[in-house]
Amino acid sequence: MTSACFDHLTPEQLRELAAQLMQRVASLDQQVHYHKTRSDQLAHEIAVLKRHRFARRSEQLGAAQIGLLDDLLDTDIAAIEAELEELAPAPAAAEPRRQPRRTALPPQFPRTLIHHEPGNTQCACGCRLKRIGEDVSEKLDYTPGVFTVERHVRGKWVCERCETLTQAPVPAQVIDKGLPTAGLLAQVMVAKFADHLPLYRQERIFARSGLAIPRSTLAQWVGRCGVQLQPLVDALRDIVLEQNVVHADETPVQMLAPGMKKTQRAYVWAYVPSPFAGLRAVVYDFSPSRAGE
């Protein structure tokens, strides 16, 4: 489009056109990010499958090592799928989505009733609201050795005159429409990363408490928690790197790059403030090379 095409446009029209172009560029960037993330997911799965199938006998993994690798793979895939859900463009028309049928929680677990009701049961038209029903959802909680169930009851209130329906909103959850409470997710994350308990061991521990949560489900929870916690990690990293003195150290690791038949050296960097600083934190950063940036 030449400059002559814009001669007849007013400044307001030019600004509106520029805003439309910027919006389209942002949409295209989001689509590119979505497809790149999807490509990384597929490349990651293919690389792991090739490792299982074509590795030399001396490099093939034992049953315990394969279990750990499966945990990492499921966790990474769950994290990538969570990012894909956030990046995926909204559908043009809402299509009914078939939800998988969830197994009911064991009735012997203690249950805590948590009621969510509107703060005001008077309609805007002046009438009193009438309770006509409720929605009930259950969240699985855990304290070491004991499962409990939070039973959330959200009453439905309606005005008989104007038929206005009022209901308390659904409380925010770490995993939207997920089964676990924040306490159960914290237990899994702390046990895995602080107590070094692999997910297959946590599966056995939970089974002894009365409910065997599949390892694949635990891995999905860990992956989705990682995505939710990423802004906190980024903020902590910025704070650490703003310190006057930062100690850094690297740990070489072998990385199987997609499309390559052999591994290459990558690095996990640890950043730590000075012992004399008021901040006590450690941030780990993965890098495929030792490049200056």
Mean pLDDT along residues 75-86? 74
Mean pLDDT along residues 111-125? 88
Q: What is the pLDDT of residues 251-276, one digit of tens each?
A: 998 888 777 778 888 999 999 999 89
Distance CA 200, CA 202 (A): 5
Q: What is the DSSP-derived secondary structure letter of residue 62?
A: -
- Which position has the higher pLDDT, 164 or 58? 164
Whether the Cβ atoms of residue 38 and residue 84 lie closer than 8 Å to each other: yes
- Residue 4's SS3 state is helix
Q: How large a percentage of the chain has pLDDT more than 90? A: 37
The H-assigned helical ranges of the chain are 11-54, 63-87, 182-193, 199-208, 215-241
Distance CA 287, CA 293 (A): 10
Assign 158 a pLDDT band (cuts: 50, 70, 90): very high
Assign 14 a pLDDT band (cuts: 50, 70, 90): confident
Residues β-bridged to residue 266: 253
Nearest Cα residue to 74 out of 214, 209, 197: 214
Give the tokens for residue 264: 């290459």
Full 3-state SS string of 41-52 = HHHHHHHHHHHH
* CA angle centred on 232, ends 251 and 87, rounded to 5°: 100
Helices 199-208 and 215-241, interaxial angle, to 10°?
Answer: 120
Give the tokens for residue 58: 């001396």
Distance CA 170, CA 150 (A): 13
Q: What is the pLDDT of residues 230-243, one digit of tens each?
A: 999 999 999 999 99
Chain center to CA of 92: 25
Mean pLDDT along residues 200-227? 92
Nearest Cα residue to 43 out of 222, 257, 266: 257
Distance CA 202, CA 187 (A): 10
Q: What are the sequence ranges of the domains in the chain?
A: 243-287
